[in-house]
Amino acid sequence: MDTINQVSQTGHEVLAAVLGVRGRDREKSLRVLLWRRGRPPQAGRWALPGGQLGATEDVESSIRRQLAEKVDVRQLTHVEQLSVFSAPERVPGRRVVATAFLGLVPCDVDPEIPDDTEWFPVSALPETAFDHGSIVLRARDRLRAKLSYTNLGFALAQPQFTMSALRRVYSAALGYRVSATNLQRVLSRRGLLEPTGGTAPSGPSGGRPAALFRFTGSGLRVTDPFAVLRPPSGEDVRSC
Amino acid sequence: MDTINQVSQTGHEVLAAVLGVRGRDREKSLRVLLWRRGRPPQAGRWALPGGQLGATEDVESSIRRQLAEKVDVRQLTHVEQLSVFSAPERVPGRRVVATAFLGLVPCDVDPEIPDDTEWFPVSALPETAFDHGSIVLRARDRLRAKLSYTNLGFALAQPQFTMSALRRVYSAALGYRVSATNLQRVLSRRGLLEPTGGTAPSGPSGGRPAALFRFTGSGLRVTDPFAVLRPPSGEDVRSC
DNA sequence: GCAAAAGTGTTTTCCCTACACCCATGG
DNA sequence: CCATGGGTGTAGGGAAAACACTTTTGC
């Protein structure tokens, strides 16, 4: 009990799994931004971007500040807390508690990234440092779940897109085929999609030109709050 | 930047909003266990149970250890992380980062609780210490959401129950009327409910004796993983 | 005209809510 | 035999997946 309660030098770091859909055509996949450690411990392994929590900032400000060095902040379309990782020996030698985040970037532009960073498919991670591999998987699972019951797709998509481009983005993120037809129906019914009026040129082999769409609004919204056990019609949820 | 990065004495605490459905009949409501602060700062205000993270434990072990002093641990049917609260001045004077948890206790037995703790309806909180009020609301929202798409009801219910008793539990937790009929259908269809074979005696004014049920299993299971955008029939979600 | 890609209409299926009706008990 | 609460059957609605079919382009 004394050892448990003893005052100790507990460090607090923030880490982010920045996810985005990258790659051309068939190679398109959900990828994560990793950074190659240059010095011990665990030199050569790939780590999540992040760093020490500062004295005058909260965890979200901190991770945004630190990501600004790796990814252009304007590129970050969504940031949310995942969970705390606090196993005593997660960083050997000293006690470091980590607050992990999910960050999302849209799939069109490839932001400038430093030489020691790289995008890796989440399905083929390299040797990761510390517990960072499991943080990436948690981020992937959170993203997949929220794609279903929120409008989070806006954070992965380009500002404008055709339905088949959006289909590829959802397919890569979810890990299975998504039908463009049904995707459009679902997102339209929920009022998340809006035609820009423009069209994309047809490809070299012809085909009807595709209409361009955009997402309405760019903040996270829950679109499917009660899967079952809805409140009775007419009755509202009491605020408490 | 220097002030942000300066090494500082950052404390780390764990806090839990322990929720349960308490009270007889019409007074039944979702309540939270709070503890009255005896000494400054904020003496007299009501706080969540918790304390300092120890050097050799992770955050979940820590909150379980600390709750054991307030609530019998065997009563805790579910514990999960909510989020980190880290506003620099959330505890005036010194820097304390908090990992907040949701804890659940079943609604039958009233565990022994110390003199300075009390169950308060979440809809009528007293003056709370620090940011603990907003933590309670986050816990409530998480519980309400998960009651819909997981089997989390098991953590609030008694070991055995009639459907109308379970209906009262769900109603209190969700904040609106739930029909016993449909509740039974939904939980049965998902394979979460199982008749014990026994029946409860009828009340003083007669009525058919109610059948007794229990939940199958007592670990959290997600029962409604894809509200929409399900994988095509036949196709599985690729593990990555 | 033909292939290719996009978009629409329609069918089927499934699940949930709502409501009517039947069942078992105490007085 | 009637009031009271428990349980079941069923109808209606809504949303999503699947698929057939039409539209628009390049060659």
How distant, in Å, are the alpha carbons of A24, B66, B85, B128 from that of B92? 51, 23, 14, 15
pLDDT at res. B236: 56
Which tokens go with A103? 């960050």
pLDDT at res. A24: 82
pLDDT at res. A88: 93
Lowest mean pLDDT: which of A41-45, A55-59, A212-216, B9-13? B9-13
Which tokens go with B184? 């039974």
Q: Tell me the residues of chain A between 38 and 57 that have a Cβ less than 8 Å away from chain B.
A: 52-57
Q: Which of residues 132-171 of B touch strand D (CB under 7 A)?
A: 162-164
Q: Tell me the residues of chain B between 151 and 210 that have a Cβ less than 8 Å away from chain A.
A: 170, 174-179, 182-183, 186
Q: Is the CB of A40 under 7 A from strand C?
A: no
pLDDT of B6 strictly over 60: no
CATH class of A152-215: mainly alpha
Do residues B137 and B120 touch, judged by C-beta distance below 8 A?
no
B11-22 and B96-104 as β-strands: parallel, antiparallel, unpaired?
A: parallel
pLDDT of B7 strictly over 60: no
pLDDT at res. A5: 43
Chain-wide mean pLDDT for chain B? 90
CATH architecture of A11-143: Alpha-Beta Complex (3.90)
Strand partners, B98: B13, B85
- A213-218 mean pLDDT: 94
Does residue B232 have a cis peptide bond before it, meaning omega lies within 30 degrees of 0? no
Do residues A195 and B149 touch, judged by C-beta distance below 8 A?
no
pLDDT at res. A238: 53
Residues 6 or more apart from A37 whose CB is under 8 A from it? A43, A44, A45, A46, A47, A129
- A134-155 mean pLDDT: 97
Do residues B200 and B209 touch, judged by C-beta distance below 8 A?
yes
Q: Is the CB of A94 under 7 A from strand C?
A: no
Using the CB atoms, write b or e for B162-181: b if 16+ within 10 Å.
bbebbbbbbbbbbbbebebe
pLDDT at res. B227: 82
Distance CA B106, CA B19 (A): 9
pLDDT at res. B93: 87
Lowest mean pLDDT: which of A163-167, B126-130, B164-168, B229-233? B229-233
B10-141: what fold? Nucleoside Triphosphate Pyrophosphohydrolase (3.90.79)
Instruction: Enumerate the CATH 1.10.10.10 domain ranges in chain A, comma separated.
Output: 152-215
pLDDT of B239 strictly over 60: no
The DSSP code for A218 is S
pLDDT of A7 strictly over 90: no
B8 touches chain A (CB under 8 A): yes
